[in-house]
Structure 1
Amino acid sequence: MPDPFLIRAALAGLGLALAAGPLGCFVVWRRMAFFGDATAHAAILGVALALGFSVSIFAGTLGVALLMALTVSTLAGRGWAMDTTLGVLAHSALAFGLVAISFVPGVRVDLQAYLFGDILAVSWRDLSFIWGGAALVLAGLAWRWSGLLTATLSEDLAQASGVDPARERLVLTLALALVVAVAIKVVGALLIAAMLIVPAAAARGFARTPEAMAALATAIAAAAALAGLWASLTFDTPAGPSIVVAAAVAFTLSASLGGMRRSG
C-alpha cells in the first residue's frame, strides 16, 4: 500500500493534468505561451499578499492571477504590442512578489516550494482545491468548446457565426487564472506554463481533431505527472521539475516519431 502522501501527490498531478491538457491546447493554438507565463509569474505576488493579509494562498494566487490575466487580455484587445508588454508585466510581478514576501513580518517562507512546486506536501484540503478547480475549468471549456474553437480559428468567422470573440477570450482568461492558482502547489509558478504547453505540443503531431488533441494532451500530462513522481522518488530529484522533464521527454519522442512518419 503506497504511503498517503504519495497517493495525494499522484491525485494532485492527475487533477492538474485534467485541466492543463485541454486548456494547454488552446494556449498552443492561440500562441498564448507568454500570456500563461505572465499569469503564472504574477502568482508569486498573490502568495505575498495572501501571507501579508492572512488569507488562503489559493485565494491570493487566484485573485492576482485573475487580475493579471484580465489586464493582459484587455491590453491585447486594445492592440498593445504583446511581447514587450507581457515581458514587463511578467517579470515585474515576479520581482514585486519576491520583494514583498521579504517584508511580511514573522513569516518564514520556502520560496522554492512556490517557484518549483512541492507536490509531495499536498494535503487533502489542497486536493479539494485542485480537483475543484480542474472540474470548473473542464466544465467551462466543455460549455464553450464550439465557440472557443470558432474564435480560435478566425475572429471574423466567429463574429459572422454569432460568437463574441471577446467573451471566448474571457473564458480562456478565467480558466488560465484558475489553473495557475491550483497548479502552483504542484509544479510552481516557474513551471506552470510548461505543463500547459509541452503536453499539448507533444499531442499535436498525432491528433486529427481538436477533441483528440485535447484528450491526448491530457493523457500525456497525466503520464508525465506520474512518471515525474516516480523519478523524483527514485533519483531524489525535485518533483515539480521532474514532472516537466517527463513531459519534455514525451515531446521529444513525439517529435522524433512524427519526423519518422513524415519521412516514411
Structure 2
Amino acid sequence: MLDDFLIRAALAGLGVALAAAPLGCFVVWRRMAYFGEATAHAAILGVALALALGLPILPAVLVTALLMAGAVSALSGRGYAMDTVLGVLAHSALAIGLVAVALLADVRLDLMAFLFGDILAVNKADLAVIWGGALAVLGLMTWRWSALLTATLNPDLARASGIDPRREELAMTLALAAVVAVAIKVVGVLLIAALLVIPAAAARPLSRTPEAMVIGAALIGMGAVLGGLWAALLLDTPTGPSIVCTAALLFAATTLAGALRGRI
C-alpha cells in the first residue's frame, strides 16, 4: 500500500506532465526552449517579491513570469537577438531573485525546494492548484489549438486566414506562465524547462502528426514522473532531478528507436 504522500506526489507530477505536454510541443516547434527557461527563472524573483510584500506566492510567480515574457517580447523587437535577450533576462532574474531572498533576514525559506522542487511535500491544497492550473492550460490549448498550430507553422498563412500570430503567442505565453507557477512546487525553477522540453523532444521521433506528438509527450511526461518517483524512492535520490533524469533516459530511448526505424 502506497503512503498518502506518495500518492499526492504522483498526482501532482501527473498534473504537471499533462499541462506541460501540449505547451512543450509548441516550445519545441517554435524553438523557444530558452524562452521557457527564462520564464521559469523569473519565478524565483516572484517568490522573493511575494515574501517581501507579504503576498501569496502563486499569483506573484504568475505575474512575474508574465512580466518576463512581456520584457522578452519588447526587447526582441529592438535590435537585440532573441538568444541574447533571453540570456540576459534569464540569468539576471534568477540572480536578482536569489539576492533578494538572501536579504530577507526575517524570512526562513527552503531555497532548494524552490530551485529543485519538493514534490513529496505536496498537500491537498497544492493538488487543487496544480490540477486547476493544468485543466486551465489544457482548456486554453484545446480552444486555441488550430490557430496556435497555424501561427506556429506558417505566420503568413495565419495572417491570410485572419489569425493574429502575436495574439496566439500571447496565449501561449499566458499558458507557459501558468505552467511555471504550478510546476514550481513539483520540479523547481531550474528543472521546469526540462520537463517542458524533454518529453516533447522525446515524442518527436515517433510522431507523424502534431496531435500524436502531444499525446506522446503527455505519456512520456507521465512515465518520467512515475519512473522518477520510483527511482527516488529506491535509490534515495532527489525527486525532481530523478524525474528529469528519467525523462532524459526516455528521450535517449525514443531517439534510438527513431533512428532504427529510419534505417529499417
For the 8 Å contact 1:130–1:183, the answer to whether it is kept is yes
Greater Cα offset, 99-108 or 141-150: 99-108
For the 8 Å contact 1:73–1:173, the answer to whether it is kept is no
Tell me the SS of whatever aligns to 2:117: coil
Structure 1: tracts of 5 or more residues without a match: none
Q: 1:79 to 1:174 in 2, by over 3 A?
A: farther
Paired with 2:3 and 2:73, the residues of 1 have a C-alpha distance of: 43
Is residue 2:248 matched to residue 1:248? Answer: yes
Is residue 2:8 matched to residue 1:5? Answer: no
For the 8 Å contact 1:48–1:100, the answer to whether it is kept is yes
Tell me the SS of whatever aligns to 2:206: coil
Is residue 2:230 matched to residue 1:260? Answer: no
Aligned letter for 1:21?
Answer: A
Task: Tell me which residue corresponds to 1:206.
Answer: 206
Task: Tell me which residue corresponds to 2:232.
Answer: 232
For the 8 Å contact 2:76–2:85, the answer to whether it is kept is no
Paired with 1:36 and 1:78, the residues of 2 have a C-alpha distance of: 21
Structure 2: tracts of 5 or more residues without a match: none
Task: Tell me which residue corresponds to 1:66.
Answer: 66
Tell me the SS of whatever aligns to 2:134: helix
Q: 1:77 to 1:157 in 2, by over 3 A?
A: farther
Task: Tell me which residue corresponds to 2:82.
Answer: 82
Q: List 4+ stretches of structure 1 deviating above 6 A.
A: none
Task: Tell me which residue corresponds to 2:108.
Answer: 108
Task: Tell me which residue corresponds to 1:122.
Answer: 122
Aligned letter for 1:130?
Answer: I
- Once the two structures are superposed, residues 166-206 of structure 1 have per-residue CA deviations (whole angstroms, 9 ceiling, x without a partner) of 00000000000000000111001001000010000000011
Paired with 1:223 and 1:13, the residues of 2 have a C-alpha distance of: 10
Aligned letter for 2:170?
Answer: L
Paired with 1:175 and 1:46, the residues of 2 have a C-alpha distance of: 17
Paired with 2:66 and 2:106, the residues of 1 have a C-alpha distance of: 28
Note the C-alpha offset of 1:120: 0.3
- Once the two structures are superposed, residues 53-106 of structure 1 have per-residue CA deviations (whole angstroms, 9 ceiling, x without a partner) of 122221121111111112213333555311111100000000000000011131
- Once the two structures are superposed, residues 101-124 of structure 1 have per-residue CA deviations (whole angstroms, 9 ceiling, x without a partner) of 011131111111011000000111
Aligned letter for 2:155?
Answer: E
Task: Tell me which residue corresponds to 1:35.
Answer: 35
Aligned length in residues = 264
For the 8 Å contact 1:9–1:119, the answer to whether it is kept is yes
Tell me the SS of whatever aligns to 1:55: coil
Paired with 1:134 and 1:70, the residues of 2 have a C-alpha distance of: 22
Give me the TM-score of the superposition, normalised by structure 1.
Answer: 0.98
- Once the two structures are superposed, residues 190-239 of structure 1 have per-residue CA deviations (whole angstroms, 9 ceiling, x without a partner) of 01000010000000011111111001100100010010011111100000
Structure 1 vs Structure 2 CA RMSD: 1.0
Aligned letter for 1:216?
Answer: G
Note the C-alpha offset of 1:4: 1.1
Paired with 2:195 and 2:69, the residues of 1 have a C-alpha distance of: 18
For the 8 Å contact 1:25–1:213, the answer to whether it is kept is yes
**Aligned-residue identity in percent:** 66
Is residue 2:157 matched to residue 1:154? Answer: no
Note the C-alpha offset of 1:26: 0.1
Task: Tell me which residue corresponds to 2:50.
Answer: 50
Give me the TM-score of the superposition, normalised by structure 2.
Answer: 0.98
Aligned letter for 1:83?
Answer: D
Aligned letter for 1:249?
Answer: L
